[in-house]
Structure 1
């Protein structure tokens, strides 16, 4: 589930309003999702740059071991967050590639349309809500 920081860019877009009888994943729809994904990626890349600057600026050799440990823990947490975002950037790039190959918007499992509203909520979705729900139920029962 994306954090608020991760969703800010694509939540600022207006919901897509399809024209009457508009074909699913028409060029305007693809352009809409391309813009959302690029904005999201740019925001994440900005976070990476801010982290690098922050770590350079804030890196200090504290004489107090507790202060040093606190700083190391903060840096560790920040790096874990950036690692998750790095993986998300890869997922965004893969999704942009799906758009270019006209494979975006259809469920990987059953092949039906994922739906505009679901894609706006989760632009990198690769499954329809029904298949995703089934996968999550299977995953949950496997953990038990």
Structure 2
């Protein structure tokens, strides 16, 4: 029975109409269906872009394997490849954070600080939809992290 309910809820979420120019506003209820759908789409589009970039990188690395006789040119190409792989590793970690944000949307926890439970500002979520803390909680966390790193 709960499987039918979950399938029905997912169906309903997909039917939410959002105009192309929709932006979450402070004067509407926080994390209403339209806002959740806005952030879901934003996260899914970001994830698709990252995955497409990864596919392009894999293709370029496979096609780009060649024997370069000049040592300097070879070193330069290896540096470029290492940089691209680091960028892709960062993208891979971002995809994990995007998936976690999508799970929070499904579980009704998206938009609320994981430390304080307070709402995260819409501006912050629009700029960084994977944010898990309010700006204030994030700053406190970073200050504590810096203090512990210096020990």
Which TM-score bucket, shorter chain as reference? 0.7 to 0.9
In our comparison, the structure showing a higher alpha carbon Rg is 2
Structure 1 segments of 4 or more deviating over 4 A? none
Instruction: Describe how 1:20-31 pairs up with structure 2 within 5 A.
Output: 20=27, 22-31=28-37
Residue 16 of structure 1: aligned partner = 23
Give the structure-2-normalised TM-score.
Answer: 0.80
Greater relative contact order structure (CA < 8 Å, 6+ sep): 1
The CA RMSD over aligned residues, in Å, is 1.7
Residue 35 of structure 1: aligned partner = 41
Q: Does the Cα contact within 8 Å between 2:24 and 2:35 map onto a contact in 1? A: no
Instruction: Describe how 1:84-123 pairs up with structure 2 within 5 A.
Output: 84-123=90-129
Residue 55 of structure 2: aligned partner = 49
Gaps of 5+ in 1: 1-12
Residue 125 of structure 1: aligned partner = 131
Gaps of 5+ in 2: 1-19
Instruction: Describe how 1:54-93 pairs up with structure 2 within 5 A.
Output: 54-93=60-99
**C-alpha displacement of 1:107:** 0.4
Deviations 1:81-125 (A, max 9, x none): 100000000110110011011110100001010121110011000
The alpha-carbon distance between structure 1 residues 99 and 17, as it changes in their structure 2 partners (threshold 3 A), is closer
- The size of the alignment, in residue pairs, is 131
